[in-house]
Structure 1
């Protein structure tokens, strides 16, 4: 028996595909990712924030495993192309590749123990340097308990329970599922495309040279 489809995901898939029909094909992957980011912000803008422990300048969870969809990776790479000088971009992507080689294949628990921080975390301000295009996983994970976060970091315990905002997390998960399905349809595949660790996904997107090249290389049949 097939699992019941989430009607919210079905609606998001239709909405994303309608949006992308108006966009040039050469940027449809990054446009899909950027549109998903915008949808998340729009859909959570009116939600209360008084219970959230996450604040600017707290990077305690930025050594955690972060999975992203293909479209998110291309949206981030495109943003970096547009906002960094060529030299800075090259150096940054080299660092991203180094981190991918070190932790890209690790399970989340082992990754947490290693405490290798995201390439986009500013070590001085503890702020995200790609905040406008941060992944949906980062947007959706909002702790309600700073003490639990600190305990998880101090003990290097990935299994430490951390109360989080379930609604925001669900919104991000639904958007990721829709993105994976929309991307699969772009390359004539059934189901959803696989997600990958952030740095590994960015390295692969950068290596693909262009969004069209990636779609041609992964097109079914």
Structure 2
């Protein structure tokens, strides 16, 4: 049993393109991204048996890998920024927005290896280690599915490069989400939109501090940070 990757790729590409063609605002972009994530999850659910599903060690509240740099497509950043602005009257909004701004400044020039050494958890984790933006989390976050949580934690708890250990991942899940990410980027290109990805906090902060950048994005401008 396994996923028919050719069929998945064709179906996902078509669905993403159709939703993007109808998107005129942040809500439309979120629908497009939800379509990409749903198509991937559906393919995974249909293609793996119970034993394979049991190998996924990731679960709610596990934030072992949430100290990595995450590449976010601009529609993902726009959707998250819009979600945050919808909650600007909530008492938790101000500290979270300030934390995102701080992380954006600090992590802008931090490479992947240094980010791991810093052991700096994502700004979107709450005090329990739960993801505050879980329904909107980027495709690259969704792609990581460790099969051994202890090994995952150990591999990320490094001091020197020579101490690195490999992480056992569900490669099919990573492949399919990588494909979904690529199909979204390709669809953006076809519609003349900025298809680059950026570090998550940096990208979200860009649209938080300048909401007018959303209009620039839909007008086909290259977003400047």
**Structure 1 length-normalised TM:** 0.81
CA distance 1:105–1:56, shift in 2 (3 Å): same
SS at match of 2:62: coil
The residue aligned with 1:3 is none
Gaps of 5+ in 1: 1-5
| C-alpha separation in 2, matches of 1:57 and 1:194 | 30
Q: Which one of the candidate residues 196, 214, 217 is aligned to 2:217? A: 214
Q: Which one of the candidate residues 51, 62, 69 is aligned to 2:66? A: 62
Matched, 1:126 2:129: yes
The residue aligned with 2:190 is 185
Q: Alpha-carbon deviation of 1:84? A: 5.5
| C-alpha separation in 2, matches of 1:74 and 1:134 | 12
Q: Alpha-carbon deviation of 1:82? A: 3.5
| C-alpha separation in 2, matches of 1:185 and 1:63 | 33
The residue aligned with 2:32 is 32
Q: Alpha-carbon deviation of 1:157? A: 5.8
Gaps of 5+ in 2: 1-5
| C-alpha separation in 1, matches of 2:189 and 2:96 | 29
| C-alpha separation in 2, matches of 1:203 and 1:72 | 12
SS at match of 2:211: coil
Number of aligned residue pairs: give it.
210
CA distance 1:194–1:73, shift in 2 (3 Å): same
Q: Alpha-carbon deviation of 1:62? A: 0.8
**Structure 2 length-normalised TM:** 0.80
| C-alpha separation in 2, matches of 1:205 and 1:157 | 35
- 1:41-190 pair list within 5 angstroms: 41-46=41-46, 47=48, 48-83=52-87, 85=89, 88-123=92-127, 125-156=128-159, 159-186=164-191, 188=192
| C-alpha separation in 1, matches of 2:37 and 2:82 | 14
| C-alpha separation in 2, matches of 1:177 and 1:66 | 15
**Residues 65-112 of structure 1 deviation map (CA, whole Å, 9 limit, x = unaligned):** 111111111222223334553654343222112111111322111110
